[in-house]
């Protein structure tokens, strides 16, 4: 047998082993991809439970335990409330409160199958006398908090809302407002939009 024929025979003998190795590697990569995909879906589709795992309780912050409320296609779950702050510090500003600053941490989740917008300026804190307060535009800017956020399907975000309320005032609740869009899941779904926003009790 010639050297060329012998070399060809050896190459053919090695090919099945090479194919097997490629199949094994391909299968492993496929399993990793599928597993990663399931993990991704699990993270996207599951609602946030408890407080955010990404940050600890901040100084003087009162952890909130109220259940999530819904307005439109968005749900809101307060995570922490901090009041009594006289100053707010940003990267390029130091702002003194007219009364006291209150910071409300909120997890907002889009429970729909398409995009929806959250406008932070529509949110309100409510004191024990029933008076509502809008976020402080200046502090929100100093703290680099957005005017609006577009949430993708099943996405959630945790934001800080900053308010300047009267000194000594006691905050009892928040009224939280989501989108005014139709649902992408079912056009006949009666999407709740409580007048003045969805009310959620707060503790100080």
Instruction: Give 181-202 as a DSSP string.
Output: PPPSS-TT------TT-EEEE-
pTM > 0.85: yes or no: no
Q: Return the pLDDT at 21.
A: 47
Q: Return the pLDDT at 30.
A: 44
Q: Return the pLDDT at 183.
A: 82
pLDDT in tens, 33-49: 444 333 333 333 334 44
Q: Return the pLDDT at 72.
A: 95
Q: Is 134 left (phi over 0), alpha (psi -120 to 50) or beta?
A: beta
State how far the Cα of 162 lies from the Cα of 110, in Å rounded to an integer.
Answer: 22
Cβ neighbours of residue 34 closer than 8 Å, sequence gap 6 or more: none
Task: Say if CB 179 and CB 70 are below 8 A apart.
Answer: no
Other C-beta atoms closer than 10 Å to the C-beta of 23 total 10
CATH architecture classification, 62-201: Sandwich (2.60)
Can you give the residue ranges of every domain in the chain?
1-46, 62-201
Q: Return the pLDDT at 54.
A: 55
Mean pLDDT by 10 residues, the chain (204 residues): 53 50 43 38 38 72 97 97 96 92 98 96 98 98 96 97 96 97 71 94 96
């Amino acid at each position: 047998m010639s050297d060329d024929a012998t070399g060809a025979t050896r190459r053919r003998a090695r090919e099945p082993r090479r194919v097997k190795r490629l199949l094994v590697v391909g299968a492993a990569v496929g399993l990793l991809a599928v597993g990663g995909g399931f993990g991704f879906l699990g993270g996207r589709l599951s609602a946030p439970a408890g407080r955010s795992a990404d940050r600890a309780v901040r100084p003087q912050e009162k952890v909130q335990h109220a259940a999530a409320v819904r307005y439109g296609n968005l749900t809101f779950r307060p995570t922490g409330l901090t009041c009594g702050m006289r100053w707010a510090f940003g990267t390029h500003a130091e702002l003194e409160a007219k009364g006291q600053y209150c910071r409300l941490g909120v997890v907002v989740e889009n429970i729909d199958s398409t995009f929806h917008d959250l406008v932070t300026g529509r949110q309100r804190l409510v004191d024990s006398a029933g008076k509502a307060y809008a976020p402080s535009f200046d502090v929100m800017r100093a703290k680099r908090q957005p005017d609006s956020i577009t949430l993708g399907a099943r996405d959630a975000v945790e934001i800080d809302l900053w308010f300047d309320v009267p000194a000594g005032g006691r905050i009892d609740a928040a009224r939280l407002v989501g989108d005014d869009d139709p649902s992408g899941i079912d056009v006949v779904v009666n999407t709740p939009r409580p007048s003045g926003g969805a009310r959620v009790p707060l503790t100080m």
